[in-house]
Every structure is written in structure tokens, then in C-alpha cells.
Amino acid sequence: MSSASVPTHFKLNTGAEIPVVGLGTWKSEPGQVTKAVAYALKDGYRHIDAALIYGNENEVGQGIKDSGVPREEIFITSKLWNTHQPNVVEGLQKTLDALGTDYLDLYLIHWPVRLVPNESHELLPVNPDGSRSVDRSWNQSETWRQMEEVYKSGKVKAIGVANWSIPYLEELKKTWKVVPAVNQVELHPFLPQHELKKYCEDLGILLEAYSPLGSTGAPLMSDEDITEIAKKNNVSPATVLISYHINKGTVVLPKSVSEKRITDNRKVIKLSQEDLAKLDALAANGKAKRINTPLWGWDLGFEDWYKQ
């Protein structure tokens, strides 16, 4: 089937539309990311996913300028870093200044974790024993209250979260006045998070998938079931993995600095119900694998966090 039968945008609970494929910029080296962003936008992307902790927002901003695509045509997401949770306005301003824009289309709390800055590091502080300098007493509802304030100010058009589990969302739900528009999480057939997806859908929260192609630690691209579906549809395994999310109503954020892969990652196909069911079942059939588990010191409410 042609990509014509696959949506190009999903609707947020704010009413705004978000392009279904965004260019991820995590682990994209400064120097490469400017060219990658400029190329992606010239190639037709209209959604860029950034974050302060990636350390490359200046380059992302330059890539946006170099593309010549008007700001208002681009959906830009960034994320509040853990050390800025007590002062969301300040964290947001650093990102706006780096990207060279006066508003974001979406701003996310990057992790439900507050880090306390100290002399060890501005963004990734550690205690004398080497553990992360985490403030376990910090109330995430206070961070969200500030997110609601910047949303009201108009500097961000939508607010959401990233890496939030059902128990954490349940807790936040007790005090939120604005329902998060998005929850960005690691998502792929080895970590489909079916329960979280249903929970978020029922609340009108759109899921976004990062690490959709896996990594060296989760060899999705060479998995025999995935390559079989790719052969059947006459496409690459990457196209299957990216299309999987869009067919299920999830925004997908593949990351690359290679022009060919950036172009290829925009190719999306309609997958059959049979293919989707097979992909949905891979984790339950013994292939479950979570790639990204930073050492915050606890599991953030995800049952599989340390079962690696």
C-alpha cells in the first residue's frame, strides 16, 4: 500500500497538529547536526526534536536558519533538563536563546528526576561517592506547575513529559490543571509498552517514540521477524520499524546525520494487521529489551527498568 494511506500529522490535545516523523538530535555530534537539520528541513521534514542536555541546540538552531524554511512551518520540541526543575523559566530561556527562537511548539520535562547542581558538573552533578546528585524529596507537581505557567505565557505552545511511567503520571494527575500533550518514551517492538500506550491514549496524551531503530544493544534491524516483514513489504527493516509507530498512532523520532538515512527515514508504509500483531508480540515472546536506563538510582516506576 502507498504511504498515502498513512497520516502525515497527528492532533495534540491542544488542537495543534504535530508531524508524525521528527528528526531526533540525541547523540548527534556538534558540527554534524547543523548540516543534518538543514538537510532534513530542505528534504521535507517539518519536526525537529531537541534538548538542552544534548549539548547541540546552538547547532540545531543554526541548521534551522540555514535551511531557509520559515520558523512558523517547523514544529520544534525541546526538553527541560533535570537541574533546571526548580526554575523552568530559566531552563526554557537557555533553550530559546540557543535555538534562536522566541517560542517552542512543545516543551517536555525530560525526566521525572531533579538533579542538584554542584561543583562536579553543571548538568550531570554527582555526589562524592560517584552516584548522581538526585533530590528524591523534590515534588514533580511543582515542576509541572511551572510548566503550566510557561504554557500560559505563550512561550511554549504545548507541554508534556518524557520518560514517565503510569505510576508517575497517576501521581501528577492529582494536581495537574493542564493534561500533558505528549509522553516521549523509548518505544520499539522489543519495548512496545502496550499498557502505557493505552493509559496515555485514554487521557488524550500522545506517545512519541525515541530510539525507534534500537541500538547496538538491541539489534532490531537484524531481527529475523522484522527482516521477514521488511522483505514481504519490499522495504528496509528501518522503514518497518518507523512505520510500526505511525500505524499505531505514535509519533516517531528517528535520529541520523547521514543524508541518505534522513531521507529514507521519512518513508512510511501501511502495515497489515497481521504484521502489526507480529511486531506487537515480539517482546512478550522473549525479545523484550530496554536500551536507555540512566543510573538515577531507582526504576522511575517502570517494571522492567533493571531487568536487563
Q: Within a 10 A sphere around the Cβ of 300, how many other Cβ atoms?
A: 17
Tell me how far apart the alpha carbons of residues 239 and 261 are, in angstroms, rounded to a whole number: 10
Residue type, 22: G
Among candidates 138, 21, 247, 187, which has minimal Cα distance to 197? 187
Measured on CA atoms in the order 33, 36, 42, 43, is the torsion positive or negative?
negative
Contact (CB, 8 A) for 166 and 180: no
The single residue of 39, 45, 54, 107 carrying the catalytic annotation is: 54
C-beta contacts of 228-235 below 8 A and 24+ residues apart: 229/271, 229/275, 229/278, 229/279, 232/275, 233/269, 233/271, 233/275, 235/267, 235/269
Ligand-binding site membership of 84 (annotated)? no
Angle between helix 194-203 and 166-173 (nearest 10): 20
Work out the angle at residue 256's Cα, subtended by the Cα atoms of residues 33 and 13, and round it to the nearest 5 degrees. Answer: 90
Contact (CB, 8 A) for 195 and 218: no
- DSSP code at position 34: H
54 is catalytic: yes
- C-alpha cell of 280? 506487537
Tell me how far apart the alpha carbons of residues 270 and 7 are, in angstroms, rounded to a whole number: 10
Rounded to the nearest angstrom, the gap between the alpha carbon of residue 229 and the centroid of all alpha carbons in its chain is 25
Tell me how far apart the alpha carbons of residues 175 and 109 are, in angstroms, rounded to a whole number: 16
Residue type, 56: N
- What residues does 106 pair with on adjacent strands? 77
By annotation, the residues acting in catalysis are 54
Annotated binding-site ranges for substrate? 110
